[in-house]
Amino acid sequence: MKGKFIVSAFCGIFFAIVTFYVLEYIKFENALLISIFAGLMFYLMLLIFLLLYENILNKRYYEAEKNIKSNIWFKFNGNINTANSVRNANIYFTDDGIVFISLDTKPYVIEEVLIQNIEKIQSDYINKLNIYTNDNRLFIITSSEVKELFPILNEHNWMNKV
Are residues 105 and 123 in contact, defined by beta-carbon separation less than 8 angstroms? no
Beta-carbon contacts of 13 under 8 Å, excluding residues fewer than 6 positions away, are 39, 43
- What is the spatial distance between Cα 77 and Cα 129, in angstroms, rounded to a whole number? 13
Buried b (16+ CB within 10 A) or exposed e, 60-85: ebeebeeebeeeeebbbebbbbeeee
pLDDT in tens, 109-143: 788 888 888 888 887 767 888 888 888 888 888 88
Q: pTM above 0.85?
A: no
